[in-house]
């Protein structure tokens, strides 16, 4: 007998409205950046998707070049959707993106109309879907006219290949210009995806967070645990099986300075006083003020997903706690 989702899957997850749109996202969403490529184990990927959906995580977030290799995360999810989730497609939010390097030559990168439309067509084939729920432009392009990139997103929605569009890694001023173009086109732009964590406040400094609030657009945050630094993993040094030890591409040993380790330990003590793990507190902090619609988690096993959704219902902070976090990190 095939997979049957738990009847209780919507009992505990909270869903937040994405800006002023009609769409709601789960408070916690599952990202496919690292652990759904061809280096992963298919049965484990399938188990993570089942665990997520059984606990109300309806949103699976991908990009064209997630893997490794490029395209493999989409292809593997496509197989999981066929194996397990064909009956649940209308309960799922599937998003993907284009904007980073995907194939050789001048048409496999950035923000041209040719690249974006071709990339989504290839993504849909890998996913085995007729449409995605959200399609993002993955990063600002300093050379392609913003009108061309936004026009491509609008064409994609009008072709029925995406229901909504989003922007990823944009700053506040560029978001404002892009939103004005998309509003004129009546294109349903509803969400921004940006890096955000206790240790990385860039979207507060570059105007993105304030602009998204004012324009009533949602935000979904990635890397909320700062590549694992905002967990208990590095409290006592660098474990042999950690990402720093096994894969230095994303988190380097030089990031764990004595000052940073001191901050991590202080934050860990504060989390204990809240009755949370450091990771739970870091995820909760992202969602503290209602500006962020959803937080994207990465997972390498189902148990991590269950640990992370423990934050549901526990994302409020006292002013004193927020001040203490700022005193430690700013």
Identify the structural domains of the chain with CATH numbers, from first to last.
15-226+283-313 (3.20.20.100)
pLDDT score of 117: 98
Give the pLDDT score at 302.
Answer: 98
Q: What is the 3-state secondary structure (H, E, C) of 232-285?
A: HHHCCCCCCCCHHHHCCCCCCHHHCCHHHHHHHHHHHHHHHHHCCCHHHHHHHH
Position 207 scores a pLDDT of 98
Find the helix or strand (DSSP H, E) in which 173 lies.
Answer: helix 172-185
- In this prediction, residue 226 carries a pLDDT of 96
The token pair at 2 is 């095939």
pLDDT value at residue 252: 75
**Long-range contact set of residues 1-10: C-beta below 8 Å, sequence gap at least 24:** 2/83, 2/84, 3/50, 3/83, 3/84, 3/85, 5/50, 5/53, 5/54, 5/88, 6/54, 6/55, 9/53, 9/54, 9/55, 9/56, 10/56
| Two tokens, residue 261 | 């380790």
- Residue 109 near residue 139, CB atoms below 8 Å: no
| CB neighbour class for 285 (10 Å; exposed up to 12, middle 13-18, buried from 19) | buried
Return averaged pLDDT per consecutive 10 residues of the chain, 330 residues in all. 94 98 98 96 98 98 98 98 98 98 98 98 98 99 98 98 99 98 98 98 98 98 96 84 61 84 97 98 97 97 98 97 98
Cα gap 12→85, rounded to integer Å = 21
Which pLDDT value is given to residue 237? 74
Residues 6+ apart with CB under 8 A from 97: 62, 63, 64, 135, 136, 137, 138, 168, 193
pLDDT of residue 1: 72
């Amino acid at each position: 007998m095939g997979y049957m989702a738990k009847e209780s899957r919507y009992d505990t997850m909270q869903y937040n409205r994405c800006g002023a749109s009609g769409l709601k996202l789960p408070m916690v969403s599952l990202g496919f950046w690292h652990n759904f490529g061809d280096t992963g184990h298919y049965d484990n990927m399938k188990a993570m998707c089942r665990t997520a959906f059984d606990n109300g995580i309806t949103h699976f977030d991908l990009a064209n070049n997630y893997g490794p290799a490029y395209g493999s995360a989409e292809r593997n999810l496509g197989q999981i959707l066929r194996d397990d989730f064909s009956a649940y497609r209308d309960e799922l939010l599937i998003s993907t993106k284009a904007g980073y390097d995907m194939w050789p030559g001048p048409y496999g990168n950035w923000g041209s109309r040719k690249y974006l439309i071709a990339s989504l067509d290839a993504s849909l084939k890998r996913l085995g879907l007729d449409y995605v729920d959200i399609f993002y432009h993955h990063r600002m392009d300093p050379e392609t006219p913003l009108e061309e990139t936004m026009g491509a997103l609008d064409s994609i929605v009008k072709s029925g290949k995406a229901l909504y569009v989003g922007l990823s890694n944009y700053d506040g001023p560029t978001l404002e210009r892009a939103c004005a173009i998309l509003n004129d086109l009546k294109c349903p732009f509803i969400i921004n995806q940006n890096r955000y964590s206790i240790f990385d406040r860039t979207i507060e400094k570059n105007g993105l967070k304030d602009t998204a609030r004012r324009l009533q657009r949602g935000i979904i945050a990635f890397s909320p645990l700062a590549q694992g630094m905002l967990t208990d993993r590095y409290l006592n040094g660098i474990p042999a099986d950690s990402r720093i030890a096994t894969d230095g591409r994303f988190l380097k040993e030089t990031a764990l300075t004595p000052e940073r380790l001191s901050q991590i330990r202080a934050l860990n003590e504060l989390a204990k006083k809240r009755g949370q793990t450091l990771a739970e507190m870091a995820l909760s902090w992202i969602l503290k003020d209602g500006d962020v619609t959803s937080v994207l988690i990465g997972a390498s096993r189902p148990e991590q997903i269950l640990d992370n959704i423990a934050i549901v219902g526990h994302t409020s902070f006292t002013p004193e706690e927020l001040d203490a976090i700022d005193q430690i990190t700013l």
